Amino acid sequence: MGSTAKPREIRLSTTPTQEELAKLKLGDIVYLDGLMYTAREGVYKRALDEKANIPMELPAESAANFHCSPAARINEDGTFEMGAVTATASFRFAKWLPEWLAKSGAKLVIGKGGMSSKDYKAYFVPNGAIYLSTVGYGTGALLGRGVDNVEAIHWNEELGLAQAMWVIRCNRMGPFIVASDHEGNCLFERENERISKNLHKVYEGTRPATLKRFGETDDKSEELI
């Protein structure tokens, strides 16, 4: 391993204070304690578009929204088996997140790939929220070890196991990476900027395809050849 600097490790509650959140820096490694709930398109549609009552006290019980469907089952006796836990890509939920953050008071949004700095500045910062990215994105078994207990599942009848709202008690669940800070800076954009500088060299000796596609031009009248 040629690693130079080891990232900082921090333990954080799923109902964190503003002071704790303000200290987080891009690239910090976070481990979480407390209650966390999963919510993705199914939950957002039901809670926001269909105005169903959210079956939890938010954010008092939890201010941590995980974009996740676990690999889990409901046993016949009503208990749960949760093996691995992995996030899903968050950019697809931008449509619902502004309203969700305002309504749920979520301070931690946990997922895959982050949002844009524009999203962070527009509605994360005003709501005092931070984005944490999962690592890898395949550290499902490590995150599964951080599940102390599955407290409840909501809306599984309506949405299915993958889209249901799972309520999880975490004990040092992680690792997660801080991907936005209290000013709305974006870790992925910072990295992308550095990588983009060298891309023209990598592309030397290649050529664009003979036949173009829409999307490579915005002019729909173009012949694409």
Partner 1 sequence: MIPMDLIEKTAVTLMNKAAIEIPDDYLTGLKAAAEVEDGDLSSFVLQAMLENYEAAKEDRRAMCGDTGTPRWYVKMGNQTQVEGGPVALEAALRRATAKATNGVPLRPNRVHPLWRTDHDNNVGIGAPEIEYGYEPGGEWIDLITVHKGGLFGTDYRMLFPSDGIEGIKRFYLDSLVAFGKRGLSCQPAIIGIGLGGCKDTCMVLGKRAACLRTVGDRNSDPKIAELEMELKELGNSIGMGAMGFVGKSMVIDAHIEVGYCHTGGMQMSVHAFCLSSRRAVARVFADGRVEYRTDPQWFTDYQRRETVEWEVPQNHEKSA
Minimum CB–partner distance for residue 165 and partner 1 (Å)? 15
Q: Which residues contact 121 (CB under 8 A, 6 or more apart)?
A: 184
Using CA atoms, how far apart are residues 148 and 166, in angstroms rounded to an integer? Answer: 13
147-154 vs 165-178, strand pairing mode: antiparallel
- Residue (21 or 72) nearer to partner 1, CB: 72
- Residue (74 or 152) nearer to partner 1, CB: 74
Burial of residue 214 (CB within 10 Å: 0-12, 13-18, 19+) is exposed
Residues that bind partner 1 (CB under 8 A): 1-7, 27, 29, 42, 68-73, 81-89, 112-114, 133, 135-145, 159-163, 175, 177, 188, 191-192, 194-195, 198-199, 202-203, 205-211, 213
Handedness of CA 91, 176, 24, 105 (dihedral sign): positive
61: its two tokens: 């019980």
Q: Which residues contact 60 (CB under 8 A, 6 or more apart)?
A: 15
- Residue (16 or 114) nearer to partner 1, CB: 114
**Whether the Cβ atoms of residue 71 and residue 95 lie closer than 8 Å to each other:** no
- Residue (35 or 177) nearer to partner 1, CB: 177
Minimum CB–partner distance for residue 105 and partner 1 (Å)? 26
- Residue (57 or 218) nearer to partner 1, CB: 218
**Whether the Cβ atoms of residue 8 and residue 25 lie closer than 8 Å to each other:** yes
Using CA atoms, how far apart are residues 111 and 90, in angstroms rounded to an integer? Answer: 6
Minimum CB–partner distance for residue 149 and partner 1 (Å)? 16
Minimum CB–partner distance for residue 181 and partner 1 (Å)? 15
- Residue (100 or 188) nearer to partner 1, CB: 188
Minimum CB–partner distance for residue 133 and partner 1 (Å)? 7
Minimum CB–partner distance for residue 17 and partner 1 (Å)? 26
